[in-house]
Amino acid sequence: MPSSLILSRLLGLALCCTPLHALAGTAPTDAAERLAACSACHGEHGEGVSGAEYYPHLAGKPAGYLLEQLQNFRDGRRVNAQMTWLVGSMDDAYMADIAAYYASMPPRTRPADTGAETLTDTMRDTALRLVEQGDPARNVPPCTACHGKALTGLEPAIPALVGLPADYIIAQLGNWRSGVRHAKAPDCMADVASDLSPGDIRAIAVWLSRQVAADGHRPAPAGSFLPPRACGAMPHGEAAP
């Protein structure tokens, strides 16, 4: 390990004060080569792979979010056999380095999949209502309240929703509903997903997959707005301005 890397890790450990996201990673020098296993599905720079449209892009997502997903796969809170196979013997420090690498890449700007099903007017209305206003009667917050007005996420741990394939979003919300996917408690998205109907999820997913993030849109800076709920990865203390 280069001494600068050791130093930066020691500094990272010394400066950290909250248990969450205490690990500030350093992107490996030849990350694209080291992470050839990741590139196969997520693209060399995490931009996604044409023809493998189910897999989410990683580029530009908050490092805290990426780190937590890697930990979730290793520790069984998220289930994807291929991911667990690859990260089962990986420590938090390397996970943080990998997260730092993909977080530093330019966010994907092309629509995720053009092959998704047609967006009917009804679906678009449902999606727009839920994304922008939510459904207070069912206790569903609007997507924008946590993922940002532009749906590009919020540092340090809320991911962008734009640029994701419809099938991927449907699968994740379905996994939350059926208890297969977990986040650290309180698991807000498990509550939100269980309050949505399968029809809502489909409408939101297809609509989202057609949105293009304007060029260079990164997650909103930490503390730039306050999500309505405290979540495991994003307690209010971290999000508050």
Binding site for another protein (CB under 8 A): 1, 28, 33-41, 52, 74-77, 81-82, 84-91, 93-94, 97
Kindly state the smallest distance separating residue 86's Cβ from another protein, in Å: 5
User: Which of 113/155 has CB closer to another protein?
Assistant: 113
Cβ atoms of residues 153 and 63 within 8 Å? no
User: Which of 93/150 has CB closer to another protein?
Assistant: 93
User: Which of 84/133 has CB closer to another protein?
Assistant: 84
Kindly state the smallest distance separating residue 219's Cβ from another protein, in Å: 25
Q: Which residues on adjacent β-strands are paired with residue 140?
A: 135
Kindly state the smallest distance separating residue 4's Cβ from another protein, in Å: 13
Closest CA to 144 of 96, 91, 211: 211
Kindly state the smallest distance separating residue 183's Cβ from another protein, in Å: 13
Residues 160 and 152: their CA atoms lie apart, in Å, by 4
Contacts of 184 (CB under 8 A, 6+ apart): 68, 77, 231, 232, 233
User: Which of 94/225 has CB closer to another protein?
Assistant: 94
Three-state DSSP at 189 gives: helix
Cβ atoms of residues 227 and 235 within 8 Å? no
- The residue type found at 143 is C
User: Which of 26/211 has CB closer to another protein?
Assistant: 26
- The residue type found at 7 is L
Angle at CA of residue 124, ends 119 and 128, nearest 5°: 145
User: Which of 100/160 has CB closer to another protein?
Assistant: 100
Three-state DSSP at 42 gives: helix
Kindly state the smallest distance separating residue 1's Cβ from another protein, in Å: 5
Kindly state the smallest distance separating residue 87's Cβ from another protein, in Å: 7
